[in-house]
Amino acid sequence: MDDGRTKTFLSHLYREKEIHKEQRHKHVVHKLVLSGSFFGLSQLTSNPHLFHLFLYIVPFVALVHDSYIFAEHFKVHRVGIFLRKLECPPACKEELDWEKFAHSNPERNAKWASFTYTILVTTFSVLAIYYSDYKGAGVLADLFYYWVGLCVISTLAVFGFSINLRIKIRDIEDGFK
């Protein structure tokens, strides 16, 4: 490949990495806005069915966004690994030193903060619905417990998805060694 085409290709890779970072950020913001809005709307209604409807939806909105956040995180790392492992690095020495430093000292808590928020949102939704009027027995109480089970299974599925993506990142890194 000639030098001009190589620079164009690398420019596209850097742009792809930035696009995925932007998408990840958008999903975090949308998740916070939507879940906050649903909580707010549930408080504005005097209709208990609407109150519950909003609270039933919030955990799943958060989990869907978590899936996208983890997927975008994977895409950013995939491009980063490829750029870091090129035989003819496209970057200056300082950028390469920064990449090595950042790779050896990763920020592990930031990506889990969003997932922790989802767990807190789900917990609050469960408690709010339970204490609002499902303390009794009957069909609605049974549906509530099925919903709680679905929340737990969905949360575990998204967590498993995130672990799977982390394993793929590790495998990609190992494949370049």
Residue 99 structure tokens: 């990449």
Q: Name the CA dihedral angle for 145, 146, 151, 153, rounded to a multiple of 10 degrees.
A: 120
Question: What is the arithmetic mean of pLDDT over 122-148?
Answer: 77
Measure the N-to-C terminal CA separation of the chain; round to a whole number of Å: 23
* Distance between CA atoms of residues 112 and 54, nearest Å: 24
* Distance between CA atoms of residues 150 and 8, nearest Å: 47
Residue 160: pLDDT band (50, 70, 90) is: very high
**Confidence (pLDDT) at 131:** 79
Residue 62 structure tokens: 């958060």
* Distance between CA atoms of residues 36 and 38, nearest Å: 6
In the 8-state DSSP scheme, what is residue 87? S
In the 8-state DSSP scheme, what is residue 136? S
Q: Contact at 8 Å (CB) between 62 and 117?
A: yes
What would the pLDDT profile of 51-105 be if each residue is shown by its tens digit?
Answer: 778 888 999 999 999 999 999 999 988 888 887 777 665 666 777 677 778 778 8
Residue 20 structure tokens: 């995925």
